[in-house]
Amino acid sequence: MSAASTESPLKAWLECDGALLRLRLSRPKANLVDAVMIRALHAAFAEYRPANGLRGVLLDAEGPHFSFGASVEEHLPAQCAQMLASLHTLLLAMLEFPAPILVAVRGQCLGGGLELALAGGPIFAAPDAQFGQPEIRLGVIAPAASVLLPYRVSQPVAEDLLLTGRSMPALEAAACGLAQALADDPVAAAVAWFDQHLQGKSASSLAHALAAARGQMRSDVRRRLADVEQLYLERLMRTRDANEGLTAFLEKRQPAWTHH
C-alpha cells in the first residue's frame, strides 16, 4: 500500500506484480469528490504515472456507494472557481493517463462522482448502481459531464441526464452503453476483464493505443471544458437562481425560482 495516512480519503496500492494500480475512494458512505479527495487522486495519478509496466488502473470505493458527488459548499461563489479548476485538471490527467482506467461502481454514482467515472474507461456496475447528474435540481449545471457524457452515450441520452437530473438504474446504463457490464461483484468483474484483456499486453503499446484512440477526444475535451467552465463562472453563477438553488439545498428547503 502507498504511503497514505489513515486519514487519507484514498487508498492506493499495486497488484499483479505492479501491472494493476488499485485506487479506492475511502471516505464512505458519501465518498465526496471534494478538494481533499481531488488532491489525493491527482497525487496518486502523478505518483504512479511513471510506473514501468503499469497496464491498468481500477478505481472503486469503500462502502455501499461509489460517490454522492462533489461538495455543495464548494459550489458556492467563493469556492467554485477553484473547485472547478482542480476537478477539471484531475479529469484531464485521467483522460491522458497512459494506462486504461477501469471503474467499479456500487450504489449511487452521482454528480462529480459520475464525472470521475466518465474520465476513466469501462464502467463495471453492480445491479444496485444508480448514475445521475442532479446538479440541475440545484439550479446549476455539470460542466465536465456536459462535455464527457456525449462521448459515452448518445446526445439525447446525455441531455436527458443533464436536463432532468434523474438517476439512471444500472440496467438502463448498460443498455445505453454508459456501463460496460453488470456484475454482482463489479470489482471482481473488472479484475477479470483486466486479467483477460490487459495483463498480457505491452504497457508501452497500451499507452500508445490510448493516445491514438483518444487524440481528438483529449483535444476537444480540453477546449470544451475551458468553454463550459467559463460559462459556469461568468454567466450561470451570476444568476439569482443558481445561487438560490445552492443556498436552498444547504438550508434544507425548496428553492424559490425567479427564472433569472
The residue extents of the domains of the chain are 10-197
Tell me, yes or no, if the pTM score tops 0.85. Answer: yes
Tell me which CATH code domain 10-197 carries.
3.90.226.10
One DSSP character per residue, 54-117 reads --EEEEEESSS-SB--S-SGGGSTTTHHHHHHHHHHHHHHHHT-SS-EEEEE-SEEETHHHHHH
CA 246 to chain centre: 21
Confidence band (pLDDT; 50, 70, 90) for 2? very low
CA Rg, the chain, in Å? Answer: 18
C-alpha–C-alpha distance, residues 203 and 34, integer Å: 31
Confidence class for position 3, pLDDT limits 50, 70, 90: very low
Structure confidence at residue 21 (pLDDT): 98
**% the chain with pLDDT above 90:** 93
Q: What is the pLDDT of residue 5?
A: 40
The pLDDT, as a whole number, for residue 138 is 96
| Residue 129 and residue 104 in contact, taking contact as beta carbons nearer than 8 Å | no
The yes-or-no verdict on residue 44 having pLDDT over 80 is: yes
pLDDT tens-digit readout, 188-220:
999 999 999 999 999 999 999 999 999 999 999
The C-alpha torsion from 133 through 138 and 143 to 149, rounded to 10°, is 20
Which cell is 147 given? 462535455
Least confident window among 3-7, 21-25, 103-107, 210-214: 3-7
Q: What is the mean pLDDT of the chain?
A: 95
Please determine, for residue 6, whether its predicted confidence score (pLDDT) is greater than 60. no
* Residue 149 binned pLDDT confidence (cut-offs 50, 70, 90): very high
The residues facing 58 across adjacent strands are 22, 102
The mean pLDDT value for 121-127 works out to 97
Backbone φ and ψ for 12, nearest 5 degrees, come out as -140, 135
Question: Rounded CA gap, 74 and 246, in Å?
Answer: 10
